Amino acid sequence: MPKPFHTVLAGTLLLLGLWSPLAQALTITVASFPDLDRAARAALPRWRALHPDIEVKIVSRQYADHHTAMTAALATGSGLPDVMALDLRFIGKFAAGRGLSDLGAPPFQAQQLRAQFVAYSWPQGTSPRGEFVAMPTDIGPGTLLYRQDLMARAGISEAELTGSWEQFIAAGIKLKAATGAYLLADSTDIRDIVLRTGLAPGEGLYFDSQGRVLVDSPRFVRAFELGRAARRAGIDAHAPAWTNDWVAGFRRDKIASQMMGAWLAGHLKNWLAPASAGQWRSTQLPNGVFASYGGSFYAIPAKSEHKQAAWDFIRFMCADAETQLQSLRTLDSFPALKAAQQDALFDEPMPYLGGQRARRLWREIASQVQAVPVHRLDALATDVVRAEYELVVSKGKDIPSALADARAMIEHRVRRP
Amino acid sequence: MKSLLRQLGGRAAAPYLFVAPFFLLFAAFGLFPLLFSIVLSLHQWDASAGLGAMQWVGLQNYWYALTDPWFRSSLGHTFWYGLAAGLPQHLLALPLAYYIHRRLKRSRNFVVGSYFLPYITSSVAIALIFSTLLSKDFGFINLILPGTPRDWLGDADYAMPAIAFVVFWRYLGWNLVLYLSALQVIDESLYEAATLDGAGPWQQFRHITLPLLRPMIYFAVTMTIIGSLQLFDEPFILVDSESGVAPAVMTTAMFMYRMAFSYGDFGTASAISWLLFLVIAALSWGNHRLFGQAGGEHGR
């Protein structure tokens, strides 16, 4: 064999050897939904600098489509991403199956990170079998956002709004008489928050730790009674969240407060009610309640082919303070990571909230929220309770009958083999 | 191509070769899902756990669906929509088509196009526009109606008629075009002969038009039955699925979707789809008895 050929061959092999790491650069797929995908995209430049050997491909679908697609992918085992973003409300359903990796088990050992996260967020990602299947990235400490200008016009103090539920409803009547505005978007806002109040340790919203149905407990009776009282007082706009009427209510100064996760302040500022900037304030939920609204998580499908890289990405998104702060700046999402909550950003005044340093309050709320376990039938129980509540407030059905019917309906489902 | 044909048996194989893509696609996207859903309806399956998690339960999913109050109420709502939205479609489309056929000349295409437009418009766009029009506090409908504003989409008593109206409005044009096309093939000499015999417009409609339209009525009503029993888009988009009123306006197709994708029970969802199929088949057979046989005779 002539020498030049040897030289060419050696050179080619050397080039191939040099280039092969690049040619075979690992690509992981992250399936996400708006606006969580924006946080991941914003974090990519830093990720590339830290992990030049792992490419990240973000596939984003609309909120409902994403969760439907993930259900189908887990069902068929095809089209699975390496990292799966999940909204809190879907965790129960996804955690009930065995399609997600246990992040608490080797090689992930996620429990080592537990102390770094807001206490209540960790159980939210834990399945009834005790497997930790979804890592929290952002949380929604519950707050009452209200229009300070409308309250001032009606002579309502913040103490009246945050006192007892009876005081809150009385304030709503006063507000309606003075300004014509509704204190609540929908009476279900009260119902839902009272349902989250006074849970026994280990008790879920609808099921206790033994899986027994709780929907006719005093907690539900109280929630239904207060919701009905608000409806009868005429202080709600009959506008469930995210509907056209809800959006119009904010824009036309017809809805004066909203109990929701702290992240709503970002939505109000960006698109719901930018015109009323400076007029909104944030405070504690009424009646001394601490609750959370929603949250986003990352999970790894059990059939993912690049679990280690996926885990690196999840840690980068969830357990890296700088990434979490960047998400906060990008989305106004509230970090689940406690280290991120200690940043000076939390002491900055928020112009949209009239210069209020609201993130301090939200941090305090987050530290007080109690963990609520999820159940695989939470989605069904939610629908059943909503339907019965509707019959109570609009058709006059009595509360004990409504709750008894709700219980029978949920038990019908629970009794399935 | 020639050599390929020769290898496969010459010209005789050609038709099979040309239709093969359809059958392959049908097998993959039509037949397989159909058969799989039968299998699925006999299993309990947690979809997020993969195909290996399927458990044989026999007819339990069917029994569970039949004893579920929401399945029964959803079936009731579906029938209600079928009657409230489907029946007027035909009662109005038929005389309207007759009027357009007999009276309108120059403006006919424009009028027919106008009626047909909702049918080809995206159901999502339609539902979004109507949800704005029907808004309680800010909607145009409440603005022009006297009295207390009605919660059109937040109260089942109003939401069901509102949805039925949207469905009726949307499919009226489709039926109109069907009847118009059938009217155009009726021999004009029949009307001329009837006129000579002294028959008036009503008698001509009653004794010539209606009998000769029977095959088309059979077809159009069958399509309405199938469409009504599968109604999904309009109620799904118009009524917020998270509101308490949603179960009170839920159709069977919506319940099937929720059973699968909200409650994660694909087995029962499949069973519901087959129960719905049986209902559609029974009603279509009834419709065949009513219009089809007589229509067939006239159609020969």
Q: Cα–Cα distance between B110 and A194 in angstroms, integer? A: 57
Q: Which chain B residue shows the shortest CA-CA distance from A99?
A: B49
B67: chain A residues, CB-CB within 8 Å: 412
- In tens, the pLDDT along A175-194 reads 999 999 999 999 999 999 99
Number of A–B residue contacts, CB under 8 Å: 119
B60: chain A residues, CB-CB within 8 Å: 416-417
Cβ-based neighbour number of residue A371 at 10 Å: 16
Contact predicate B249/B73, CB 8 Å: no
pLDDT exceeds 60 at position B294? no
pLDDT band at A211 (very low <50, low <70, confident <90, very high): confident
Please indicate whether residue A78 or residue A407 has the higher confidence score (pLDDT): A407
Q: Which chain A residue shows the shortest CA-CA distance from B71?
A: A409
Q: Output the CA–CA distances (angstroms, integers) from residue A168 to A163, A260, A365, B39, in the order listed.
A: 7, 16, 19, 54
Mean pLDDT along residues A4-21: 51
User: In this predicted structure, what is the pLDDT of residue B9?
Assistant: 66
User: In this predicted structure, what is the pLDDT of residue A289?
Assistant: 92
Average pLDDT, chain A: 91
pLDDT band at B297 (very low <50, low <70, confident <90, very high): very low
Note whether B49 contacts A99, CB cutoff 8 Å: yes
Mean pLDDT along residues A203-224: 92
% of residues, chain B, pLDDT over 90: 68
Please name the member of A93, A241, A242 whose beta carbon is closest to the beta carbon of B264: A93
User: In this predicted structure, what is the pLDDT of residue A315?
Assistant: 97
Q: Cα–Cα distance between B245 and B70 in angstroms, integer? A: 13
* Predicted-assembly ipTM surpassing the 0.90 threshold: no
pLDDT exceeds 70 at position A1? no
pLDDT band at B6 (very low <50, low <70, confident <90, very high): low
pTM, rounded to two decimals: 0.84
Note whether A390 contacts B244, CB cutoff 8 Å: yes
Note whether B138 contacts A252, CB cutoff 8 Å: yes
Q: Which chain A residue shows the shortest CA-CA distance from B258?
A: A380
Contact predicate A369/A76, CB 8 Å: no
* Measured CA angle at A217 (ends A214, A223), to 5 deg: 105
Minimal CA separation from B49 to chain A, in Å: 5
Note whether A248 contacts B57, CB cutoff 8 Å: no
Q: Which chain A residue shows the shortest CA-CA distance from B257?
A: A68
Note whether B47 contacts A71, CB cutoff 8 Å: yes
pLDDT exceeds 70 at position B24? yes
pLDDT exceeds 80 at position A14? no
Q: Which chain A residue shows the shortest CA-CA distance from B57?
A: A417
Note whether A75 contacts B245, CB cutoff 8 Å: no
User: In this predicted structure, what is the pLDDT of residue A21?
Assistant: 47
- In tens, the pLDDT along A36-81 reads 999 999 999 999 999 999 999 999 999 888 998 998 888 888 889 9
According to the per-residue pLDDT averaged within each range, which of A84-98, A335-349, B47-61 is highest? A335-349
Which region holds residue A107: left if phi is over 0, alpha if psi is between -120 and 50, else beta?
A: alpha
Minimal CA separation from A14 to chain B, in Å: 44
B70: chain A residues, CB-CB within 8 Å: 409
Q: Cα–Cα distance between B214 and B221 in angstroms, integer? A: 10
